[in-house]
Structure 1
Amino acid sequence: MKFLIPILVVMMVSITNAVTAQNTKTITVTVVNATSDTGEIGFALYNKDNFMGKPIEGKRSEIVDGKSTVVFENVPSGVYAVTCYHDKNNNNKMDFSSNGMPLEDYGASNNVMAFAPPTFENAKFTLKDEDLKLEIKF
């Protein structure tokens, strides 16, 4: 009897993990037009509640021939947005001039380019039943 309970717990955890893995997808994001291969691209995955705050997940990727790709894995279905920036000097932050203008290139999902920071409404997309691939242009 004392062996039965741990075995049941292990089985329940295994089944839960298998079901969770089946209900999640991947989001592959590629920046296709970085102006140089210097530095890295920083990517952030958001939902509406945390947009431009602490991301659900952040990743960094090297740049090769002007392209940089990351994969966000095990993402549940929902509405999300991705932002990214070219960290040319590898200081792990986006740099701004004294007047507040960005000194490094940036972009967001859906490639809406406005003379303002990205908004969730412009950058949002829906992750449903299939893995998703996004291209972002600076």
Structure 2
Amino acid sequence: MKKLLFTITVLAMTVTMNAQGNDGVTLTVIIENVLNNEGHVLSALHNEQTFMKADRIKTSHDKAEAGELILTFEHILPGDYAFSVLHDANDNQRMDFENNGMPKEDYAMSGNSMQMGPPTFSDAKFSIANEDMEIKLRF
């Protein structure tokens, strides 16, 4: 009986420790071709429910520096996500548009589908499994 109780206790502790250890993975996003040091680079990780809305899963607000910007997001659970990034050169916290509707500032979206009109989640999505992941976006 003591042996059975010990086995059950060890099994319960193992399950609990594994559940606590599964706190997600690290997503590294490399943003290439930041053209200048003006303003900030705004980025956001979305799921399907938050895509193209004010809510986001994770965000970043970094001083723009010409060249490459590397962002790290930790504790991301497995699932489907999309990533958006904007070089907000004039620091007004939004994307600015020309009169014809084209963006004035550099931007990028995961999925690299640069179609006319706003992106869709299905075009921008990528899947995160149980391993750390790296994606690259280019302005």
Q: What interval of TM-score do these two structures reach, taking the shorter chain for normalisation? A: 0.7 to 0.9
The ranges of structure 1 where at least 4 consecutive aligned residues each deviate by more than 3 angstroms after the TM superposition are 15-21
- C-alpha offsets along residues 96-123 of structure 1, whole Å, 9 cap, x if unaligned? 2233221111111122211222221111
Task: Give the TM-score taking structure 1 as reference length.
Answer: 0.79
Q: Does 1:49 align with 2:81?
A: no
Q: Report SS of the residue matched to 1:31.
A: strand
Structure 1 residue 75, shift from structure 2 partner = 0.9
**Correspondence list, 1:21-32, <5 A:** 21-32=21-32
CA distance in 2, matches of 1:128, 1:57: 17
CA distance in 1, matches of 2:98, 2:16: 49
In structure 1, the partner of 2:76 is: 75
The answer for unaligned runs of 5 or more in structure 1 is 1-14
Paired AA for residue 129 in structure 1? N
Between stretches 24-33 and 92-101, larger displacement belongs to: 92-101
C-alpha RMSD of the superposition: 2.1
- The number of equivalent residue pairs is 124
CA contact (8 A) 1:62 1:68 kept: no
Paired AA for residue 51 in structure 2? F
Q: Could you say if the C-alpha distance between residues 75 and 38 of structure 1 is closer, same or farther in structure 2, counting changes exceeding 3 Å?
A: same
In structure 2, the partner of 1:120 is: 121
CA contact (8 A) 1:40 1:62 kept: yes
Which has more radius of gyration? 2
Q: Report SS of the residue matched to 1:73.
A: strand
**Correspondence list, 1:1-138, <5 A:** 19-53=19-53, 54-138=55-139
Q: Could you say if the C-alpha distance between residues 47 and 34 of structure 1 is closer, same or farther in structure 2, counting changes exceeding 3 Å?
A: same
CA distance in 1, matches of 2:120, 2:40: 23
